[in-house]
Amino acid sequence: MVKKKKLTIAGLKRAAKAFARTESKHDDPELFGITDGKAVGTYLEHKFQKYLHLEYGYVEGSSARGIDFPELLVDMKVTSIKQPQSSCPFKSARQKLYGLGYSLLVFVYEKKDDEASRTSRLNILHTVFVQEARTADFQTTTGLKKIIENDGNIDDVLAFFEERMLPVDGIQARSLAEEVIGNPPSIGYLAISNALQWRLQYSRVINEAGSVSGIDRVL
């Protein structure tokens, strides 16, 4: 029995690149006529996990674990180029300022159905790896950066939280404001909308991939 390699971040990126190239040439009758983005995403996620398991030994995540690659602290997201976004669990408002707590591997596809062959092809246009430090909200982190650079204090930060409708109570807001003053957050590149689940939007990371530290263009 051949011993499988241990999965690393570098190995995950290499495999994602090779998988994206192969998948972009594959015609599949299973996806023909499917318009549900969640179904397409689940299909691609499962297929990539199978692809990885051929070469690598690792613990596969589950909904209970929260992310797809718990040992690497990486979650996989699959989204259409038409509206590149997805949801993720809300843990605390702090995620919007300091990041999700894990990195993201994002596959962005364009789906095309062929009526003649009744097959569908997922052309993977972008594969982007967003390091954990860049998974905060862009407008929130850039706004806080301006406040800090302008010698802002806790009251300024609290007013900003209120203006941005950050989902926190008064005690949480003050604690976060104190943390922001003492430890200003790095600039994030996601757009994170407030909801019972965070809504993550990826247009900015697609555009900035390869030109900003921490946002790697895999393909």
Listed in order, the ranges of the chain carrying CATH 3.40.210 are 5-89+101-135+191-217
Distance of alpha carbon 40 from alpha carbon 1, whole angstroms:
34
Strands 191-193 and 74-80, by their bridges, are: unpaired
Write down the pLDDT at residue 63.
Answer: 60
**pLDDT (0 to 100) of residue 4:** 87
Residue 64 pLDDT: 56
Predicted pLDDT of residue 31: 87
Query: What is the distance of C-alpha 32 from the center of its chain?
Result: 26
Query: Does residue 113 contact residue 120 with C-beta atoms inside 8 Å?
Result: yes
Prediction pTM value: 0.92
In the chain, which stretches have pLDDT less than 50? none
Distance CA 2, CA 4 (A): 6
Q: Which fold has domain 5-89+101-135+191-217?
A: PvuII Endonuclease; Chain A (3.40.210)
Q: What's the pLDDT score for residue 65?
A: 61
